[in-house]
Structure 1
């Protein structure tokens, strides 16, 4: 099991700050978030990379540990509800492995 931290930033600090333990079995971060009932990850397409409703901002040092953004993910990141940033990723494209134990992601406020 690994720990993943989901943070929803607000104007005065975190609105939601929740850590969940999930298997490090290669499932997607999106699936782990949905299974844990994390608000802000709609996952409308179920992880087929067609909706961008699982947008997250990956904090360092975790961003540097992820594989590069694919061309399809790069295209879908142009359709997120909150403006894209350098650390924007789609959680359906992040596979959870033991190396990501402690991963922290911020959820876009506009995804609520």
Structure 2
């Protein structure tokens, strides 16, 4: 199972998600554990809001967690897809600002 293309110079993810700034996390569907095995990243109730640009069955979040979905390809985007990404970015920024300590 591949977590990212090998032609990229980025290392394999070493955690299911990483904090990029306080209260803003990024993650994928798979990560490489300490023993080198690929593991599923499954969101349960760790976060108040989950924004997905790609979904995979069984990866969460649990019912009751706000989950916004806008499937975005790794390719050129349409005007509608760009608008969706902009809308989700505004929502994410507002959530981080609102919940800041």
TM-score by length of 1: 0.30
Instruction: Name which structure has the greater RCO, CA cutoff 8 Å, separation 6+.
Output: 1
Whose Rg is larger? Answer: 2
TM-score by length of 2: 0.32
* Higher percent of residues as helix: 1
* Higher percent of residues as strand: 1
